[in-house]
Structure 1
Amino acid sequence: MSDFNARHIRRTVLQMAYAGATVHVACAFSLADILAVLYRRHLRYPDNDPDGPGRDYMVLSKGHGVMAQYACLHEKGWLAPDALANYYGDGTLLKGLSDAHVPGCEVTSGSLGHGLSVGVGMALAAKLGDTGQRCYVLLGDGEMNEGPIWEAMLFAAHRKLDNLLVIVDENGLQAMGKTSEVMDLGSLRAKFESFNFEAVDVDGHDEAALDAAFTALENKRDGRPKALVARTVKGKGVSFMEHQNLWHYTRLDAATFAAAMSELEPV
């Protein structure tokens, strides 16, 4: 099991996407640092069991970023190398969206806007059972356009789910363009706060800042659900993908795969 190096996660994403001739590379890249910190320091899996009854829940509502999560699950030892090598192939376990049949994936997502409601239910069950489990839900900022997100936030605040931590991958882009142009939601932190969440925003590629923010939020059991708005770059780590929304749906060819891998050489 590695230390969940974000650069290594991005290299694994590239290898999967190239092997499967599939898309959503840039969507996964913006998540890499967030997931590296979570799996390295914060998510608790007793006996390293992805299905253990006392585990924390990691709900990837932004299901199209799942390659970054698959890379982490591989580093945890829950996915074999051949599963990654056969990504998106016939009969493979790993599909292009989060699937609850995969060890470590708590939800089937991809139809955006529903993961937070599932996560709120998990957090409520843990709260009622006094299990001490935490629930982390990772959303995309474009996904915040969906009405069920706001209903779930209302419910979480009403039930005082301070074991719920919502993370928003705020990369400013969604499938059809800039989030500010598709549906301008203004300050997400301010909106969470207006729903009685304890909310912070942070550089989503600064692992030390992410680690400190997660720790501070986790330690506040004050009856308020938590939110972390992570300012990220779509395509982070590869120069010709950064801020380029065409890499939401563009597939790698031999040249772009080689160029991207060369930029992510281990240091």
Structure 2
Amino acid sequence: MKKTSEQLAWLIRRHAVEMTHLSGGSHIGAIMSVADIVAVLYSDVINYEPSKPKWEGRDRFILSKGHAGASIYAALAESGFFPVEELKTHYANGSRLSGHVSHHLPGVDFSTGSLGHGLSAGVGMAYALKKSGRKENVYVVLGDGECNEGSVWEAALFANHFRVNNIVAIVDHNHMQSLDFNENTLGIENFYDKWKAFGWNVIEIDGNNHDDLKRAFESAKGMAQESSHKPTIIIANTVKGYGVSFMQNDILWHYRFPHKGWEYDGAVAELYATKPENIQDPYTPYGIDNPVLPTDKDDIGNDHTFSYTWDTSYPEQMRRVEATPGAGGREHYINNEK
């Protein structure tokens, strides 16, 4: 039975915790923020046939922010493209489930990971489909930080100029990138007006709200048939790490994975408490009894953004030049305490 978008989004998040925990892989914050977008696409929007992944009548989908690839792997497995059990091989040597999205997996149309390429490829696919008189649509999910790439805006210009109205781009606008918030890294606002100026239909929503997402995709279909025939972009405002309180809006979880102990136990316990009806936790069916809790010595609830943690005086406080025999007098960064 096909899962509801709410069920699929929960499973994507639960698989993400397990996959990154087992593999020591990164980017769980991005996986959690994009989970609702991916779930609604696979439950309610995209036409696909799991038994025929190369079916010509399928809609095409590209996750341009390929570092959040575990979200797609989970969605594909839960949609019947390959066994759910294979998700445990994420990041393993010889696995098809590489850290960034790989087209070697059934259901993946384009390998991604090097940011800025997905929209260009998607626009090309959509343009080719349109020129061939076909009716399939192309959906591309980008990161907001990814939109610093010039190639994104070249693709945007092309899509508008050639009225590529069979493409819908979705920006997972979780407002964080790399080491900080977007505006502290390289400002992208006013984001809505930028896309409008490039000739796109623009819809801005709460990207963690399934009703908003469904309405936006329905509106995108209507806009595509209007006389302007413009491409459409959905700016989906999301929360990085959404679904686990201590991961939310903490840039640490762009790189960190849930370690054994309070990190894993806490994430599983929080997700289990919000589990929708009629689905089972595939890893801890009854939750975790007596989960390990963080102590006041654990790194939780702290601001890890670059703009907060960077102290330009730090290197000078820690540096001492030592003429160490055999070291050629090179600089060593050591604690000044004796």
Name the TM-score class by shorter chain: over 0.9
RMSD: 1.2
> Pairwise mapping of residues 75-86 of structure 1 onto structure 2 (< 5 A)?
75-86=78-89
Task: For 2:21 and 2:3, locate their aligned partners in 1 and report how far apart those are by CA, in whole Å.
Answer: 23
**3-state SS of 1:67 partner:** helix
8 Å contact 2:28–2:254 — kept in the other structure?
Answer: yes
Shift of the 240–67 alpha-carbon distance from structure 1 to 2, 3 Å rule, reads same
Structure 2 partner of 1:144: 147
> Pairwise mapping of residues 118-197 of structure 1 onto structure 2 (< 5 A)?
118-197=121-200
For 2:114, which of 107, 111, 114 is the aligned residue? 111
**3-state SS of 1:254 partner:** coil
| CA displacement, residues 196-251 of structure 1 (integer Å, 9 cap, x when unaligned) | 10101000011001100101111222310000000000000000000000000112
For 2:15, which of 12, 32, 36 is the aligned residue? 12
Task: For 2:202 and 2:69, locate their aligned partners in 1 and report how far apart those are by CA, in whole Å.
Answer: 25
Structure 1 partner of 2:317: none
Structure 2 partner of 1:244: 250
1:186 alignment partner AA: E
Structure 2 partner of 1:226: 232
Identity of paired residues, percent? Answer: 37
**3-state SS of 2:204 partner:** strand
Task: For 2:61 and 2:85, locate their aligned partners in 1 and report how far apart those are by CA, in whole Å.
Answer: 24
Indicate the structure (1 or 2) with the bigger Cα radius of gyration: 2
Structure 2 partner of 1:22: 25
Structure 2 partner of 1:206: 209
Which structure 2 residue ranges, 5 or more long, are not aligned?
277-338
| CA displacement, residues 35-77 of structure 1 (integer Å, 9 cap, x when unaligned) | 1111001000157532111110111100001111111001111
Task: For 1:187 and 1:214, locate their aligned partners in 2 and report how far apart those are by CA, in whole Å.
Answer: 22
Structure 2 partner of 1:45: 48
Shift of 1:18: 1.0
Task: For 1:48 and 1:183, locate their aligned partners in 2 and report how far apart those are by CA, in whole Å.
Answer: 43
Shift of the 168–19 alpha-carbon distance from structure 1 to 2, 3 Å rule, reads same
1:85 alignment partner AA: K
TM-score for both structures, normalised by structure 1: 0.97
Shift of 1:175: 1.2
Task: For 2:44 and 2:259, locate their aligned partners in 1 and report how far apart those are by CA, in whole Å.
Answer: 35
Task: For 2:191 and 2:40, locate their aligned partners in 1 and report how far apart those are by CA, in whole Å.
Answer: 22
Structure 2 partner of 1:3: 4
Runs of 4+ in structure 1 off by over 4 angstroms are: none
Task: For 1:184 and 1:102, locate their aligned partners in 2 and report how far apart those are by CA, in whole Å.
Answer: 35
Task: For 1:188 and 1:206, locate their aligned partners in 2 and report how far apart those are by CA, in whole Å.
Answer: 20
**3-state SS of 2:203 partner:** strand
- Higher-RCO chain (CA-CA 8 Å, sequence separation at least 6): 1
8 Å contact 1:70–1:79 — kept in the other structure?
Answer: no
Structure 2 partner of 1:263: 270
8 Å contact 2:120–2:155 — kept in the other structure?
Answer: yes
